[in-house]
Chains A and B, each alone.
Chain A
Amino acid sequence: MTKTKHLLDLDDADRPFIEALITRARQFKAGLPNENIRLRGKIVLGMFFEASTRTTTSFAVAASRLGATWIDFKTEGSSLVKGESLEDTMRTVRAIGADAIVVRHAEAGFPHALARYFEGAVFNAGDGAHAHPTQGLLDAMTLVEEFGDLAGRKLLICGDISHSRVARSSGRAAWLLGASVTLCGPPLLLPPSVPGWGFAHISADMDAVLPSADAVMLLRIQRERAAGGDMPPYADLATSYGLSLSRAATLKPHCIIMHPGPVNRDVEIDGSLVRSERSRIERQVENGVFIRMAALEKSLGSPTRERVA
C-alpha cells in the first residue's frame, strides 16, 4: 500500500518508507518554515464511524498546521448509513472537492473499500482489528527518538493482541526498523501460529518476557467484547497481564512504557506508572501530530517531497 497515495496499512510497507516518514516528522517537530502553506487549499475529510478523540484531533491539528482545511463528515445518519453504495458516496465526496479522507471504521478493510472508489487519498485511522498505520508510525518514531537504531532492541506488546489494530501496525513498524517484537497475552488473544503475523515472537507468560524488554507497550483490555464468547475472563486478564508495580520493578532500568490510549488505570497498567519517568505515553500523542503531518504532506503535497531526502 505504500506505493500508492493512500495510507491503508503497513502490511506492504518497507523500511525506507517508514524511515522517510519518521525523518520528515522529526523535521516538523524541530520546526520547518512556512509549514502552514504546504497544503493550502486542500480539503481533508474526517470520516469517523467509530468514536475517536485523540486520533481525530491529532489528524485535524496536523491538517490545520499544514494549511489544509479539515472537515468533519457527519457519519451518523449519513447517506452511507441509509444504504447508499460506497461507490456512489465516494464519487459524491470527490465531486464536492475532497482531496483526502481520513477514515475510521469498525470493520477491517473498510478504508481499502473506500480507496477502490475514491480518487483522492485515503488515510486509515483504524479499521477494526486490522490496522492503524499512523499509530504504528508514531510508535516507531517514539522508539527511534529513544533508542536511535532499533537493531537488537526488544519491544514487548502486552494485552488483547488479537483484537488490536495497534499491535499489528506498531509491531510491524518496529520490526521493519530492526526491533525484535514479542506479543504477550492470554492464549485466546494471540495469533494462531508462530511467528505471529509473520514477524513476532509470542508468549503467554508476561513475567517471563518483561525483564528483557527495552520498551513495553500495554494495550487496553476490550471488555466490551466479552459477551461475544471470544474473550478470556476479565478478572484473569488484569491479574495475569497487567503491568503492576511489582512487575514494573523487574523491568530494565532504561525500559520505557508506552500505551496507545485510552488507558484503563489499574487494569492493564498501574495508575502511578502512567506519568512515571519511564512513561512515553504523552510523547506518543505529541509525535502523532508530526507523523500525520508527514503522511498528509507525502500524499497531498507534491513539490516538497524532494526535500525529505
Chain B
Amino acid sequence: MTGSNHDPRGNRDFVGARVVDPKLGLDGIRTIVVRRGVVAALLDGAPAATDSDSERIDCAGMVLCPGFIDPHVHLREPGDSYKETLATGLAAAAAGGFTAVAAMPNTKPPLDNAARIETLRAEAARLRGPHCYAIGAITIDRAGTEIAPLRAMAAAGAVAFSDDGSATRSLKTLYNAARYVLDLPQPFLSHCDDLSFDGGLMNEGDTSSLLGIAATPAISETAIAARDIMVAQATGKEWHLCHVSSSQTVELLRWARALGIRVTAEVTPHHLQCTEEALAAFDARLRVNPPLRTTADTAALRSAVAEGLITIFASDHAPHADSEKEPPLSHACVGFSGLEVAVGATFHALHNVELSILIKNFSSNPAALLGVPGGSLEPGSPADITGLYLQRPWTVDPQRFVSKGHVTPFAGMTFAVRPALTVVGGVVLMRDGVVQSVDMKTVDTRSTATEKMPS
C-alpha cells in the first residue's frame, strides 16, 4: 500500500512547489522529501544538498497535494476489455492526476466473490500504476436478492460494497446485508435509481417532453436515496450516495445530516455543469445515468459542495467503445470516459470554491470513505502526490485520451486547471501530460506542441 511495489528506492525531492495539505493546515512553499516511497519530511525551502542516490524534481509553478483518489470508476475488466483494460484505465487515472481509484463491481462476471476481488487486485498491482482498490457487489450477480459473501470479500481486500449500475432491488436484502457487516468498516455505496424507470433515456422535463423521449424523473433518484438513508439510519451502517444529480437529493442529505445519520455523497463533474438541453439534438454521446438534469440542479450541487454537504468528487469513469456511443439514443451505452477530464472540469465548475475544499474532496475525504492510505502528506505517509497547474489553460481533445473511451461532454472545452504530476509511492507516473509506467507504454497526452512544458 505504501508504494513499495513501485520503485525499491523511491528517493526523490520535489522542490519549489506550493504544497497544499488541508489535513495538515499547510499551504506554503515546501520541499517534499521522499525516501523509500514514503514522505520523509516537508522542508521549508529547498534542501542545501540532495542525497547522491535521490533525484531532484523541479516543481516550481505547481501546487502539490495529497494524491487524488477517485472512488468511482469502471475499469471494465473482467469481461469488457474492448471498452477498457486495467492497464488503459489505470494509465488514464495517472494521466488525470489520480494516484488511486476504486473499481466498481459491475464487470462481467461481477466482483461478487473473494476470488474475483483478489484477482483484480493482483492484476492491477502488476501494472505498477495508481493504486487500484476493489469494491465488492452487495448481492450475488448484482441481482439484488441474495447477499454476496461480503465478509470473505472484505478479507480479500474489498474497500466498500455496492451494486452500482443499479439500485439494490430488494430493500429487505439491502437492510439485512448492512446489518450483516455492521462491524466491518467498509461502507455501502448507493446507485440511486429506481428500477421501474428503466428505459429512460434522459431527464424528465421540458426537453424530454419537447422531444417525445422516454425519460427518468428526479424522483427515481430521490426515492431510492431516501430509502437507503433510512436503511443507514435503521442499521447504523456507514453509507455513501454515488453521483448525486438532483437538487432534492441534496435536501435529503441536509436532512440526514441534521439527524446525525452517517451518510456522505459524491458528485461528478458532468452533473456539476452539464444540463439536459444538451440532448436537444439527440446527441447519443450524452446519454448517462443518472441523466444530465437542469440548471437548478447543477446550481444546487455546486452550493452543496461549497456548503460541505457533498464532500467527495468522483469521475464515474465509464468508458465505452466509440461505436457504442453512436445514435440512436436508445442504442447508446450510458456514461463517459471521465478520469482524464475530472480534475480540470471539476475545478472549472467550482472555481468559486476554496482550493482547500476542492483538494480535500479529491484526497482526504475519499481516503476516509474507503479507509485507504493517503489523504495527507504528513511525514510517514505513502508518497502519493498529485501536482496541479492552477493556470495552464488546455483544451479537451478526447482523441488524445489514454483511456479507450473517447466520449466526454467536455470535448472542446478549455479548463484552467491541469494535472501536472502523478506520483505513487514516490515514483513519477505522469509528468506534464506524459504517462510513464513499467507496464504501460509511454503516452503523450498533450494536445499540441505549444502546450509542452519546459523541463
Contact = CB atoms under 8 A, between A and B. Distances in A.
B206 A163 contact: no
Contact of A109 (B204, B209, B329): B329
A107 B209 contact: no
A49 B341 CA distance: 39
A109 B326 contact: no
Given A112-B282, A128-B213, A197-B210, A229 B327 contact: no
Contacts of A33: none
B206 A107 contact: no
Contact of B212 (A105, A108, A112, A198): A108
A168 interface: yes
A18 B281 CA distance: 21
B211 A109 contact: yes
Nearest to B329: A109
A192 B282 contact: no
A130 interface: yes
Which of B196, B282, B323 neighbours the largest number of chain A CB atoms within 10 Å of its CB?
B282
A147 B213 CA distance: 33
B295 to A, nearest CB: 14
Contacts of A131: 212
A240 interface: no
Contacts of B328: 86, 105, 107, 109-110, 113
B149 interface: no
Contacts of B323: 85
Interface string A100-141: 000001011110110010000000000111110000000000
A162 interface: yes
Interface in B197-254: 204-206, 209-213
Contacts of A130: 211-213
A292 interface: no
Interface string A61-86: 00000000000000000000000011
Contact of B281 (A110, A112, A163, A229): A112
A113 B212 contact: no
A87 interface: yes
Nearest to A167: B212
A168 B204 CA distance: 17
Nearest to B199: A228
B329 A229 contact: no
A116 B327 contact: yes
Nearest to A230: B214
Interface string A179-209: 0000000000001110011100000000000
A109 B205 contact: no
Contact of B209 (A87, A165, A192): A192
Interface string A52-68: 00000000000000000
A109 B328 CA distance: 7
Contacts of B326: 85-87, 113
Given A108-B213, A128-B213, A130-B211, A192 B206 contact: yes
Interface in B284-333: 284, 323, 326-330
Interface residues of B, number: 18
B282 to A, nearest CB: 3
Contacts of B281: 112
A107 B212 CA distance: 9
Nearest to A87: B326
B212 A191 contact: no
Contacts of B327: 86, 109-110, 112-113, 116
A104 to B, nearest CB: 13
Contacts of A127: 212
Contact of A198 (B210, B211, B330): B210
A109 B206 contact: no
Which of A109, A128, A198 neighbours the largest number of chain B CB atoms within 10 Å of its CB?
A109
B292 to A, nearest CB: 16
Contacts of A162: 209, 212
A163 B213 CA distance: 9
Contacts of A168: 210, 212
A257 B111 CA distance: 61
B196 A109 contact: no
Given A109-B328, A112-B327, A113-B327, A165 B206 contact: no
A11 B209 CA distance: 13
Given A116-B327, A229-B196, A109 B213 contact: yes
A165 B282 contact: no
B282 A113 contact: yes
Nearest to A192: B209
A201 to B, nearest CB: 15
B280 to A, nearest CB: 8
B210 A107 contact: no
A192 B203 CA distance: 12
A129 B212 contact: yes
Nearest to B281: A112
A193 B206 contact: yes
B210 A109 contact: no
Nearest to B327: A113
Nearest to A197: B210
Nearest to A229: B196
A10 to B, nearest CB: 12
A128 B323 CA distance: 23
A197 B280 CA distance: 13
Nearest to A8: B282
Contacts of A86: 326-328
Contacts of B282: 108-109, 112-113
B329 A191 contact: no
A192 to B, nearest CB: 6
B284 to A, nearest CB: 8
Contacts of B211: 108-109, 130
B213 A197 contact: no
B383 to A, nearest CB: 47
Interface of A: 11, 85-87, 105, 107-110, 112-113, 116, 127-131, 162-163, 165, 168, 191-193, 196-198, 229
10 contacts: A87-B326, A108-B213, A108-B329, A109-B213, A109-B282, A129-B212, A131-B212, A168-B212, A192-B204, A196-B209
Given A113-B284, A130-B213, 8 more contacts: A112-B281, A112-B327, A130-B212, A168-B210, A168-B212, A191-B209, A197-B209, A198-B210
Nearest first, the 8 closest Cβ-Cβ pairs linking A and B are A129-B212, A109-B282, A113-B327, A130-B212, A108-B212, A191-B209, A113-B328, A108-B213
